[in-house]
Amino acid sequence: MAKIEKETVITSYSGSVFKRLFGYMKPYLGKFILAIVMILAVTVFAIVKPILIARAIDTYIEGYDRTYAIVDEANADLSYNGLFLTKDFEENQVFSYCQIVLYDDNYYYFENLDARQVQVLVKQNDEGIKKVIAQTKNIIEIADENGNVLQGKLLLKEDLKVLRSSDYKGIFIIGMIYLIVLALNALIDSAQSYILLITGQNIIYDMRNQLFKHVSSLSLRFFDTHAVGQIDTRITNDVEALNRMFSHILVNLIRNFIMILGFALVMLGLNSRLAIIVFIYLPVIFILTYYFRKISRSVYRVVRTKITQLNIFLSEHISGMKLIQIFAREKEKFAQFEEKSDDLYKNRIKELFVYAFFRPITSLIANLAIVAIVYKGAHYVLSGTLTVGVLYIFVSYIRSFFWPIQEMAEQFSTLQNAFASAEKIFTLLDEKSKIEEIANPIKPKKIKGKIEFKNVWFAYESENYVLKDVSFVIEPGQKVAFVGATGAGKSSILNLIGRYYDIQQGEILIDDINIKEMSLKQIRKAIGQVQQDVFIFTGDVKSNIRLLNEDITIDQIKQAAKAVNAHQFIESLPNKYDEMLTERGTNLSFGQRQLLSFARTLVINPTILVMDEATANIDTETELLIQEALKTLMEGRTTIMVAHRLSTIQHADNIIVLDNGNIVESGTHQKLLTQDGIYKKLYELQKYDDKIKPSK
């Protein structure tokens, strides 16, 4: 096969990423809408909680100065000093009032007041009692605007407890409401998180499966030109990068936007002057956010590229570790890995630095806003134009106001990073297989096994033709071998029969039907192929033979294993057919792996047998056993063999000799030996090599 350079970057994506991502969200749209509704509820709870505490402060904790109305027993909240009192009343239905005032750190009680007198006491209480005309141990006297004397009695702790019983009740009710809000918030927040996490995992599951299925359908040419580590990164790292976007980012962006808007409106409604002080800091936050997004996006893209390069390096070098150790290149390869790892590390540090800088700066701005609000708000409270509860709301809201802005900046960055990963994923999904199947392929009831090449020209890339005007016919049941020097085109012919590549010129026919007009699945199902480099999957012996085809029974597996003389060594394993094999079958010998591949091929009962150097790694004794089995197994099947060891193909009905992509000789073993050609020279060279080889 001609050498093809591996690409390290799949071409860029040019479509609408969001529109395509929405396609994956569409089946789960109902769950996303439910999660958004839940997040709206959680947002409302976040806005309401400080308001509840502020109400408890202003109405009940600081509510000693609320006026009591003297009412009948039916409408009273409490009874004190022979009077029935309530704080909840309508002014036009009350004629007498009671009032508590604070003077010199003591509380005094005034009763049987009219509305004008109450106003005087409330006003003096807010501004500080200044017109005390007399004071004894238990009594103070205050003059109103007309010079009338109002007398107040000192309240003891027991008196305050009775008079403020309604305040205790109000605090208890607000506390219960607050607990209910907390419980609902926790319940709904947990539910929406669970819904989003499950939905995100479902989407990622669908996407990952689609990716692997698509990659499995691509032609071998794609794998010739793209590094395995790069494809691994797409299916694992890049897909996982989308998980956080589906699980958190999209819906939480909506939540944060609503929270920012909600907090801003509530603050403006409570006190526009304090709200403006908070908003002054917003431009600084927006500027920081803009640069954070710009820098983090640039750094993240570099990090993703470095991760891909590291994965490619690991995939290649772990697979080739045996070769590295054979040539004692561990130190040099480690130096290469360390260089790539160090490169990734430095870019990761840059990424972390960006985040480490952004978070403290935004927190500092939020704290500066709190300082400004507390300073200005304290002046308003002392001047009586602002309540302590409202000041508490502002202090609580400031962190809750700046936190979503900070989080949105990071979410936008994560969203952009996810889009970058999505671009790579969609580029891979849009990769078209070079082997295209027609809409309505011809499907003969049974493939008999006739194979014909008509003037076939084939190149792996550009016009570097590996096969040049090749023509031959293999009749059903014939055993044909291809021989020639390395690079002559032998293995390429085998790949073309299964249509793993398409030819540039000419025709390839199976049973007189052009393979481009046939079903790929039917063609490949009819061909059983054994290669020199046998791939063993992690799993037990029987699963490596049936390859997840559950229609193949254990009896059929054993029968195939016996036919290729693999049964004996399998039975010698501790768990026999249930013995677990390691990756690439490293716990088996070369010969045992090859025997398994024979069993794997023969168990599907193919019409056409293809063997590419199938006995190259098997010792002479094992080879003799296989040759004995193959004589029986090849009966009635079209068999195509590629072998350097000519002794294994002497029984072939026809031997085709290739040289530099051309057919130069063909005939039986005996016929070719009578000709003074390439085959005879190869045969004599191998005979000579066999003679000079030392005996084992």
Q: Is residue 557's pLDDT more than 80?
A: yes
- Mean pLDDT over the full length of the chain: 81
Q: Is residue 563's pLDDT more than 90?
A: no
Place of tokens 């003969």: 444
| pLDDT band with cut points at 50, 70 and 90 for residue 508 | very high
Please choose, from the candidates 473, 475, 455, the residue with its C-alpha nearest in 3D space to the C-alpha of residue 465.
455
pLDDT in tens, 302-340: 887 888 788 888 877 777 776 777 767 778 888 888 888
Average pLDDT over residues 573-594: 78
Average pLDDT over residues 585-609: 80
| pLDDT on residue 619 | 61
Q: Is residue 412's pLDDT more than 80?
A: no
Average pLDDT over residues 135-142: 84
Average pLDDT over residues 619-643: 72
Q: Which CATH superfamily is domain 451-692 in?
A: P-loop containing nucleotide triphosphate hydrolases (3.40.50.300)
- Is 336 in contact with 295 (CB distance < 8 Å)? no
Interhelix angle 250-270/388-429, rounded to 10 degrees, is 160
Percent of the chain with pLDDT over 90: 7
Kindly list the domain boundaries of the chain, sorted by start residue.
65-163, 451-692
Please give the Cα distance from 484 to 555 (Å, whole number).
Answer: 39
| pLDDT on residue 507 | 92
Please give the Cα distance from 564 to 596 (Å, whole number).
Answer: 8
| pLDDT band with cut points at 50, 70 and 90 for residue 10 | very low
Neighbouring CB atoms inside 10 A of 173's CB total 12
Please give the Cα distance from 210 to 201 (Å, whole number).
Answer: 14
Which structure tokens are listed for 527? 């061909």
Place of tokens 């509305």: 115
| pLDDT band with cut points at 50, 70 and 90 for residue 541 | confident
CA 572 to chain centre: 44
Q: Which of 249-263, 577-591, 617-631 has the lowest mean pLDDT?
A: 617-631
| pLDDT band with cut points at 50, 70 and 90 for residue 401 | confident
CA distances from 642 to 199, 355, 465, 624, 647 (A): 51, 59, 20, 17, 12
CA distances from 657 to 320, 354, 613 (A): 33, 65, 15
230: which residues sit within 8 A by CB, 6+ positions away?
7, 8, 9, 10, 308, 311, 312
Q: Is residue 381's pLDDT more than 90?
A: no
Average pLDDT over residues 370-386: 81
pLDDT in tens, 75-132: 888 898 889 998 888 877 777 899 988 888 888 999 988 888 888 888 777 555 666 7
Please give the Cα distance from 624 to 303 (Å, whole number).
Answer: 55
Question: Which has the higher per-residue pLDDT, 514 or 384?
Answer: 514
CA 413 to chain centre: 16
Strands 513-514 and 505-510 turn out to be antiparallel
| pLDDT on residue 696 | 45
| pLDDT band with cut points at 50, 70 and 90 for residue 2 | very low
Q: Which of 35-44, 159-168, 214-223 has the lowest mean pLDDT?
A: 214-223
| pLDDT on residue 457 | 92
Place of tokens 């085709």: 656
Q: Is residue 1's pLDDT more than 50?
A: no
